[in-house]
Homo-oligomer: A and B are copies of this chain.
Amino acid sequence: MTARLFLSAVLGAALALAAAADEGMFTFDNPPARQLQQAYGFTPDKEWLDHVRLASVRFNDGGSGSFVSPDGLMISNHHVGLGCIQNLSSAEKDYVSIGYLAPARDQEPPCPGYEVNVLMSTEDVTPRVLGAVRDDMSDKAAHEARKAEIARIETGCSRKTGMRCDVVTLYQGGVYHLYTYKKYTDVRLVFAPEQQIAFFGGDPDNFTFPRHDLDIAIFRAYENGQPAKSPAFLPFARESVKDGELVFVSGNPGSTSRQETMAQLETARDVFVPQVLDYVKRRLAVLRAYSKASPEAERRARAQIFGLENSQKALEGRLEALQDLKAMARQAAREKELRDRIAADPALSASVGEAFDAVAAAEKKGAARALESRYVGFSGSRLLNIAGTISRHVVETKKPNEVRLEEYVDSNLASLENLLYSQAPIYDDLEITTLTHQLELAQELLGPDHPYVKAVLAGHPPAAVARRAVSGTKLKDVEARRALVKGGEAAVKASSDSMIALARTIDPFAREVRRFKEDEVEAATNRAHERIGKARFAAYGTSVPPDATFTLRLSYGTVKPYPYAGTVQAARTTFHGLYDRAMSWGNKYPWQLPARYLERKSKVDLDTALNFVHTADIIGGNSGSPTINRAGEFVGIIFDGNIESLAWDYFFTDDEGRAVSVDAQGILEALDEVYDADAVVKELTDARPPAAAASR
């Protein structure tokens, strides 16, 4: 499950009834203490919560992770680290294929563009944000006032603390919290297994269980060129979890849509999800054709294909959930219950007004221009994306902070630049292929007479436009990017760089579509959601956690078998299962074992647990989240959910849905017996549990 594919924020109305068993991604300032006490006789105290929070890290390109030693050692998923592993590789040394183990602590190579965050504090800033909005403002004016106030809060905090400061919108705009993060931008790679074992079973086994993946990568955070002292860390547990055991997940779920109105779910089902799915399938076909040219082409396209295959399966799962008549009827009943309550209360009725209709109207408006939102812009090519970012950077940063496009406000700028100046390699042929395809799709889906298409193609075939733009650009060179940004608006305007020229043509169209979406769709939706959200609070209180927002959450569940294809699926797999699946397929891709797994087989204790499932509530973005026991120890790492869990975007149920973790003991067994990663094993097993946690 690659998290980054799920992170486009979806706004939704707050109308959940009482949460289902084990449902909920809770903020650390509102942990599910009562539920845990009732169901498990366990109450996490402040010390426990602080320990887990400070040991949890967010990988800024869309994943989670945790500190697992006092010396900045961090563990996440291989698929969260894939960009780094890919970027450190070359045609000669492909660490994605052969795996990587740093020869020594002082030879750990940096991951270009990586940033991890640790959540240090949160503060309620709802009065400040909502105070900036007056009732008599238009939707657009309210939206801008809110945005400006948020930018002021973030910048003020950032200046004062020197830390990363984000105002997080919770409860669909009912609550705003200021999150302060300690930031690590020097992240280095310590260990990565072969992708073949990290993603054993490939696309077929993705989003399924039983599973046999060592989907881990180990990093180290550095400060001032030295291994960082971890703010906290999770010691590895000494044994595997048992059926029925309580486990926690601490991570950064990207987004959920559990509180959307029916109008939104129906538009997602009928318009948005099918449109994205169509894009994903067509892009995949193009990349697969590109890959066939040579092993090197296959290597270059691999990360994109990997992400898109993952995306396709996830979208199909979500579409299936939305097409599940029973589940949708249940959601409709929830909405009706809320609306009946509102209708029965004159005060609520007056405050909500026509908010449900307003959401529906905005959805309809947005759906009508959904294809433009998707195809007008800088997507489809990394170089175009860089050129677009530069073109806007020089304009936006000259504006007052409050009126900039969100990604250019001061508090977001460092992260944006970190990506903009990434040394990650770019391949011309691949760029031409994907940019051509993007332009072809625009031509086909928007029509040849769409002003954007006419302006961008100017009568030429998409392939010619793409080839010219890619061959005439210097933007592969990071220094060229820096020079343009430094040169400012004048330099960009004067630039004869072909990709910058293309971005200049695109920008006004892209800004118009974005303005339409933000001002005419999202502003109205947000305003309506605020009203519905307040009514929901009046009706149901705050016992239900907010929808996911790619910020730190704690969820909990039990290790638990589930009904499966006519039988019952055990809650774990062992190394025996790995060898069974490889041998049952004749050791053929994608069930082929890396050679060392065959060589070392007799050394491995095959009864050791490799993967396990549990009912903790997760979603994309939780990739790499630690799975933690009562004692605050690391028992595993989230890397996927089964197919049934894909419905969790919209509705949680633990009938069959399960989160999937790599087992900590399986990790140690592999590091020790298959990889001879003695130093890493020593660092992990030497890490002493904090006294407080150990005493539980």
Contact = CB atoms under 8 A, between A and B. Distances in A.
Interface of A: 201, 204-205, 207-208, 210, 242-243, 313, 561, 564-568, 570-574, 576-577, 579-581, 583-586, 591, 606-607, 609, 642-643
A567 B208 contact: yes
A210 to B, nearest CB: 8
A585 B570 contact: yes
A564 B567 contact: no
A565 B568 CA distance: 13
A422 B295 CA distance: 70
Determine which residue in A574, A581, A584 has the highest number of CB atoms from chain B within 10 A of its CB, and name it: A584
Contacts of A572: 584
A213 to B, nearest CB: 12
Contact of A201 (B567, B577, B643): B567
14 contacts: A205-B567, A207-B566, A208-B566, A313-B566, A565-B565, A566-B643, A570-B581, A573-B580, A573-B584, A574-B579, A576-B579, A576-B583, A577-B577, A577-B580
Contact of A586 (B243, B564, B591): B243
Contacts of A579: 574, 576, 606-607
A564 B561 CA distance: 18
Contacts of A566: 207-208, 313, 642-643
A574 B591 CA distance: 14
Contacts of A580: 573-574, 576-577, 580
A130 to B, nearest CB: 44
Contacts of A242: 586
Nearest to A570: B584
Nearest to A611: B584
Nearest to A587: B607
Contacts of A204: 567-568
Given A201-B567, A570-B584, A577-B577, 9 more contacts: A210-B584, A242-B586, A243-B586, A561-B585, A564-B565, A565-B643, A571-B584, A574-B580, A580-B580
Contact of A577 (B567, B568, B584): B584
Nearest to A586: B243
A566 B314 CA distance: 11
Nearest to A643: B566
A583 B610 CA distance: 11
A208 B569 CA distance: 12
A598 B509 CA distance: 69
A565 B642 CA distance: 10
A34 to B, nearest CB: 32
B584 A574 contact: yes
Determine which residue in A567, A581, A607 has the highest number of CB atoms from chain B within 10 A of its CB, and name it: A567
Given A204-B567, A566-B643, A577-B577, A607 B583 contact: yes
Nearest to A577: B580
Contacts of A609: 584
Contacts of A565: 208, 564-565, 643
Contact of A576 (B208, B585, B606, B643): B606
A546 to B, nearest CB: 30
Contacts of A573: 580, 584
A201 B564 CA distance: 13
A390 B295 CA distance: 78
A566 B204 CA distance: 7
A574 B583 CA distance: 7
Contacts of A576: 576-577, 579-580, 583, 606
Nearest to A201: B567
A565 B643 CA distance: 8
Nearest to A607: B583
Contacts of A584: 210, 570-574, 577, 609
A508 to B, nearest CB: 44
Contacts of A205: 567
Contacts of A586: 242-243
